[in-house]
Structure 1
Amino acid sequence: MNWTQIYDPMNNIWFSAIVAVIPIVIFFLALTVFKIKGHIAAFITVLSAILVALIFYHMPLKLLIGATGYGFVYALWPIAYIVIGAVFLYKLSVKSGQFEIIRQSIVSLTDDQRLQMLLVAFAFNSFLEGAAGFGAPIAITAALLVGLGFDPLKAAGLCLIANIAPGTVGAMGIPVIVAGQVTGIDPKEISINLSNYLPIISFIMPFFLVVVMDSFKGLIKVWKPTFVAAIFYAISQWATFRFIGPELPDIIAPIVCIIALAVYLKVFQRKDAKQEKAGDGLTLGKIVKAWSPFIVLTICVSIWCTSIFKNLFLPGGLLEKTTLNIPVPWLNNLVIKSAPLVPKPTPYAAMFKLDLISATGTAILVSCIVSMILLKVSLRAGGEVLAETIKELYKPILTIMLVLAFAFVANYSGESSTLGIALANTGHYFPIFAPVLGWLGVFLTGSVVSANALFGGLQQITANQIHVAPLVLISANVAGGAMAKMISPQSIAVASGSVGLVGRESELFRFTVKYSLIFLVFVCIVSYVQSIL
């Protein structure tokens, strides 16, 4: 039995939007006002989304069960698979004793925690986002900062904020590529348009992070190396966006940034006794061995992202049968999208992709296995570390499952589309709100890719109706989405789990939400200015 989505259940789009936003408001209040634990807040939110879908949208219960179950399963694969692997890799480094050498190698460059933060939370975070994405960068870099002596809450918060810079293009430019596929716009054109303003945010970000960490007084003390990190990252990102495309900004820019900052610290910054002591006995071989888990991770994920490797899993490929596309019971093609979200009635597919080998999580798993060999961690010790990792992450994973269930219910019931259509009804002022759609999409799904798939078509349709270049609004959707990564419940759960803040998700949410809104306003202004030029 098919069911067609209803986007205006109250026969007034603004009243319908008020109904649709109820679960989101509940989630915000649960975390900020009532300070409820993440998994409990997520449970209340998914329950409210289900009730709204049943009472106002008249979505059949069978389809709701299917959407909820789809969210649960998707949270486990690929997301939990990636997060567990990323944290396991970090813990292997600690278990083997090699993390102490990593710490020493960073301290030998600088004992200033502000600059350590820029190296790890800003630059290395960006690199991992470009290589792996899906929460792995936040999990690894936040744990690294805690290992360097940072307060867990501040470490997680800084890594979430810093993820704005690379979050727009993510792993190998997939968010921008998907936006192009949904709208028919060349991803290279989207990339060029993003180069007009995202490097400005990236340039501001290192200064912003230092101020958040240690106030303006703290920034004055380290403004020169901060400027080095900012200018080299921003220029590299701009050049890559403009002349290469969306695939490599998050790889090239952080590498250039790390090299430039390291050279500056080596050449221009005087070392104190603590740094000299940290550098004693460190050889290139020891440093490479200590960093080998992350070097192997980079190599594996890079291989997984190559077209040669991906072609193995396409129809007719050698490993085609290792990827299973399973129709989700009680959901696949039973929900019908309708106008104005799509030009004509279109079945809403629900296919669970079980990519046993081609998944990014498998690349991380291979990295863990290779690292156990390189670091001489026994199978028994590795098993104990894995069990410890799963035990620590089960509550964050439960939170992610509930959050994704909420997201899938909102998407398949039409609740999220109602919000998008309401914003689209702002007419010629819509370019101001276009980034908000992407922001909402990422808040709901935790993924810029998903936000682009969800609202990309609506952005294009609205652009044509109000006579604005679709490229402007599609770019706004992409950029606005990145501004929500730091407050996405999925990201908050990952960050909390990686640094032992389970149960304190509301504190982390309150730490980041104001900064998310600040950067969102900036993107909204840029979007509107571009629309009238």
Structure 2
Amino acid sequence: MYQPDLSPVADSLALSSLVAALPLLTLFLLLGGLRLKAHWAGLAALAVSVAVAVLAYGMPLRYALLSGTEGAAFGLMPIMWIVLAALWVYRLTVVSGWFEDLRRAFGLVSDDPRVQALIIAFCFGALLEALAGFGAPVAITGVMLIAVGFSPVRAAVTVLVANTAPVAFGAIGTPIITAGSLTRIPYEEIGAYVGRQTPLLALFVPLLLVALVDGVRGIRQTWPVALVCGAVFALAQFVSANYVSVELTDIIASLLALAAVVAFLRVWKPRESARVRDALRTAAERERGEGAEAPGRQDAANAPLGARRVGMAFLPYLVVIAVFSVAKLWTPVKEALAASDVEVPWPWLDGQILTATGEPSGTTLYVLPWLSSPGSLLLLCGVVVALCYRTGFGTAVRAFRDMVVQLRWAMLTVASVLALAYVMNLSGQTITIGTWIAGTGAAFAFLSPILGWLGTAVTGSDTSANALFATLQQTAAGRAGLDPSLLVAANTSGGVVGKMISPQNLTIAATAVGLVGREAVLFRKAVAWSVLLLLAVCVLVYLQAHVLAWMLP
């Protein structure tokens, strides 16, 4: 059996952490600095992680390679399965001719792209995050922003930044429930703490979104609706997380924020909408002229948009909401789907890996959610949509095949990045970095969110970040005399701002908007916002630990 040594390099935790960070440094340097394509950067970082695992940590080569294969399998199923199915649903709207009606239907609510960013990327994206999670919100809202005229880069960056505040309570509260199950802290308590952190992000993210669309002028001209959107979402998230339901928090917050925006637009309209639309159109033409691939589009007849046409345009997303609501909120269906999961002890690896504490690692048990996966539910949604749109069987199959071809490099990227994450986790590299950061005493309150940010940036999942670091946060809090619930919550809140720079999420966003192979462009545009929001979370948690204790439950 293999058990990781947390200080394998010169018996020094600091030096070992520096060596353990080499795969991540390789990944981000190649992606952001040298602008290498994401799949090559991921494969190079994977090779470095295997070398560190074998040469520095003494992990047998066969275990390092097997860890990578399990991670790659997880990257393909369920993660890329979700993305593939989500984009197939979108492709059905294109091949059936309803795509242009979707664009026109959004214009009925508001023809201002800044407001459309709030409605689509923030509100609807939060609802998708609540129901499906993983990459579905980025994939679906990315193509929806393209539908209303956004340029590919701006659409991708907008949905990446928007997919922050809702992440902590995503997939019916899975990240928080996972943290609670690992630490034995009631997840309702962790959720209450998170509900006093992420709402502050939610308050300002809509302002950031309108700035991404139209700069400082966009903030000056649309701050009232952005503030209404953020304030209602933040208040609803706080109230639901603390007094209603952790699981339903994002559903309640997203729907109330959407209703508030629509109601506010009845009494207030933004200025210079035409100017912003023209600027986005020019940017889109310029980007596509530089080689970006525009998603397919068919023009519908210029007939008036009656209730039926609007309903048919939004049909795919109404079906998604209906199917996921039943699957996630109706307990008998939820339990039946979960019971269909197949547990697969990873061959020649399960039972051979111990954690740093000497316990058998549960990571080597691969769970195949063939029916309960959001990807499978999205596939069902696609079948329903194809039937309602009367899309021929051959046309629907060709659309699915085309998506597989389009996503081939994205699949390689996500598989390599998840393989990297599994090698780092099982060999002990990730926990070495975390343990070193956790040894900073009282200052750990400030550094605590960085662990969640790091875990989510590597794995693309706040749930995985909590699986990695929740118990470490709890232990470090006890040693430093800090509130364990606060730091476990900080791990979750830090993770939400790391998702936008995860290579997995970057690849999903790039593929959705037709920027395959240009993940480095998105990384460079998103990383500054990720670090800035992380700093804000770090300061907030530090103040909550030492000054603003009255904010806590």
TM range (shorter): over 0.9
Tell me if 1:324 matches 2:342: yes
Q: Corresponding residue for 1:317?
A: none
Partner Cα distance (2:22, 2:253) in 1: 40
CA-to-aligned-CA distance 1:196-252 (integer Å, 9 cap, x gap)? 221111011111111122111122112222222122222222211121132112111
Describe the superposition over 1:31-50 as per-residue Cα deviations: whole angstroms up to 9, x where unpaired: 12111011011111000000
Correspondent of 1:303 among 314, 317, 326 = 326
- Residue 388 of structure 1: how far off its partner (Å): 1.2
Q: Does 1:136 align with 2:139?
A: no
Corresponding position: 1:525 with 2:535: no
Residue aligning to 1:162: 162
Identify the residue that residue 199 of structure 1 maps to in structure 2.
199
Give 1:399's aligned amino acid.
Answer: T
Distance 1:279 1:503 in 2: 36
Mapped to 1, the partners of 2:13 and 2:273 lie a distance apart of: 66
**Partner residue of 1:511?**
525
Instruction: Please point out which of 495, 499, 514 is paired with 1:481.
Output: 495
Question: Which residue of structure 2 lines up, in the alignment, with residue 104 of structure 1?
Answer: 104
Q: 1:230 to 1:329 in 2, by over 3 A?
A: same
CA contact under 8 A between 1:105 and 1:279: conserved in structure 2?
Answer: no
Letter in 1 for 2:350: N
409-418 vs 250-259, which deviates more?
A: 250-259
1:425 and 2:449 matched: no
Q: TM-score, normalised by structure 1?
A: 0.94
User: For residues 218-237 of structure 1, what are the structure 2 equivalents within 5 Å?
Assistant: 218-237=218-237
Residues 283 and 189 of structure 1, relative CA distance in 2, 3 Å threshold:
same
Question: Shift of residue 349 of structure 1?
Answer: 4.1
Taking the aligned partners of 1:347 and 1:48, their CA distance within structure 2 comes to: 23
**Higher alpha-carbon deviation: 97-106 or 31-40:** 97-106
Does the Cα contact within 8 Å between 1:108 and 1:279 map onto a contact in 2? no
In 1, Cα distance between the equivalents of 2:400 and 2:520? 27
5 Å-filtered alignment, 1:40-119, equals: 40-119=40-119
Q: What corresponds to 2:468 in structure 1?
A: 454
Alpha-carbon spacing, 1:349–1:155, altered in 2? closer, same or farther (3 Å):
closer
> Does the C-alpha gap of structure 1 residues 426 and 290 become closer, same or farther in structure 2, counting only changes over 3 Å?
same
Tell me by how many angstroms 1:432 deviates.
1.0
Tell me, in whole angstroms, the C-alpha distance in 2 between the residues paired with 1:233 and 1:310. 27
Instruction: Please state how far the C-alpha of 1:17 moved relative to its aligned partner.
Output: 0.5
Alpha-carbon spacing, 1:271–1:413, altered in 2? closer, same or farther (3 Å): closer
- Whole-Å Cα distance in 2 between the matches of residues 369 and 165 of structure 1? 31
**Mapped contact 1:68–1:405 kept (Cα < 8 A):** yes
1:120 partner letter? I
Instruction: Please identify, of 257-266 and 129-138, the stretch whose mean Cα deviation from structure 2 is larger.
Output: 257-266
Contact 1:138 1:495 in 2 (8 A): yes
> Separation in 2 of the partners of 1:132 and 1:104?
26
Residue 306 (structure 2) aligns with: 283
Counterpart position of 1:362:
376
Q: In structure 2, how many angstroms separate the alpha carbons of the residues matched to 1:407 and 1:421?
A: 17
Give the direction of change, closer, same or farther, for the CA distance of 1:400–1:426 in structure 2 (3 Å limit): same
Paired with 1:114 and 1:263, the residues of 2 have a C-alpha distance of: 16
Structure 2: distance between partners of 1:169 and 1:415: 28
Instruction: Tell me how far 1:280 sits from its aligned partner.
Output: 7.1
Deviations 1:433-488 (A, max 9, x none): 11011111111111111110111111111111111110010000000011100001
- Say whether 1:439 aligns with 2:453: yes
RMSD in angstroms over aligned alpha carbons? 1.9
Q: In structure 2, which of residues 335, 354, 363 is the aligned counterpart of residue 336 of structure 1? A: 354
Aligned partner letter, 2:491: N
Work out whether residues 486 and 492 of structure 1, in 8 Å CA contact, stay in contact via their aligned partners in 2.
yes
Q: Structure 2: how far apart are the matches of 1:284 and 1:228? A: 28
Within 2, Cα distance between the matches of 1:280 and 1:142?
Answer: 26
Amino acid across the alignment from 1:287: V
8 Å CA contact 1:78–1:361 kept in 2: the answer is: yes
**CA–CA separation in structure 1 for the residues paired with 2:273 and 2:501:** 40
Distance in 1 (CA, whole Å) between partners of 2:170 and 2:535 is 21
Deviations 1:153-212 (A, max 9, x none): 110111000001211111100101111111111111112112222111101111111112
* 8 A Cα contact 2:232 2:257, kept in partner: yes
Q: Could you tell me how far apart the structure 2 residues matched to 1:368 and 1:124 are?
A: 18
1:37–1:505 Cα contact (<8 Å) kept: yes
Q: What is the letter of the counterpart of residue 9 of structure 1?
A: P
In 2, the alpha carbon distance for the partners of 1:35 and 1:300 equals 40
Q: How does 1:116-127 map to 2 (within 5 A)?
A: 116-127=116-127
Matched residue type, 1:403: V
Tell me, in whole angstroms, the C-alpha distance in 2 between the residues paired with 1:509 and 1:269.
33
> Which position in structure 1 is the counterpart of 2:287?
none
1:375 aligns with 2:389: yes
Query: What are the Cα deviations for residues 474-520 of structure 1, in whole angstroms up to 9, with x where unaligned?
Result: 00000001110000111011111111111111000001000000111
Cα deviation, residue 271, structure 1? 11
Per the alignment, residue 9 of structure 1 pairs with 8
CA distance in 2, matches of 1:407, 1:450: 10
Contact 2:221 2:270 (C-alpha < 8 Å) held by counterparts: no
> Would you identify which runs of 4 or more consecutive aligned residues in structure 1 move more than 6 Å?
270-275
In 2, are the aligned partners of 1:104 and 1:279 still within 8 Å (CA)?
no
Whole-angstrom distance in 1 between the partners of 2:243 and 2:121? 27
1:63, CA displacement in angstroms?
Answer: 0.6
Aligned-partner residue type, residue 351 of structure 1: L
8 Å CA contact retained: 2:494, 2:537:
yes
Partners of 2:63 and 2:181 in 1: CA distance:
27
Q: Deviations over 1:17-58 (max 9, x none)?
A: 110001111111101211101101111100000001111001
* Structure 1 contact 110–271 (Cα < 8 Å) conserved: no
Distance 1:198 1:515 in 2: 15
By how many angstroms is 1:273 displaced? 12
Alignment-derived partner of residue 153 in structure 1: 153
Cα distance, 1:59–1:252 mapped onto 2, change above 3 Å: same
Amino acid at match of 2:97: G
Aligned length: 520
Q: Counterpart amino acid of 1:151?
A: S
The TM-score, its normalising length taken from structure 2, stands at: 0.91
Name the CA distance, whole Å, in 2 between partners of 1:345 and 1:103. 54
Query: What percent identity do the matched residue pairs reach?
Result: 33
- In structure 2, relative to structure 1, the CA distance for the partners of 1:39 and 1:126 (3 Å cut) is same
1:498 partnered with 2:517: no
**Letter matched to residue 322 of structure 2:** I
For the pair 1:312 / 2:341, whether they are aligned, the reply is no
The Cα shift of 1:103 comes to 1.0
CA contact (8 A) 1:49 1:409 kept: yes
Per the alignment, do residues 279 and 243 of structure 1 end up closer, same or farther by CA in structure 2, a change over 3 Å counting? Answer: farther
The amino acid that maps onto 1:8 is S
Q: Is contact 2:449-2:490 (8 Å) kept?
A: yes
CA distance in 1 between partners of 2:520 and 2:121 (Å): 21
DSSP 3-state at the match of 2:380: helix
Report the Cα distance in structure 2 between the residues aligned to 1:212 and 1:393, rounded to whole angstroms. 27
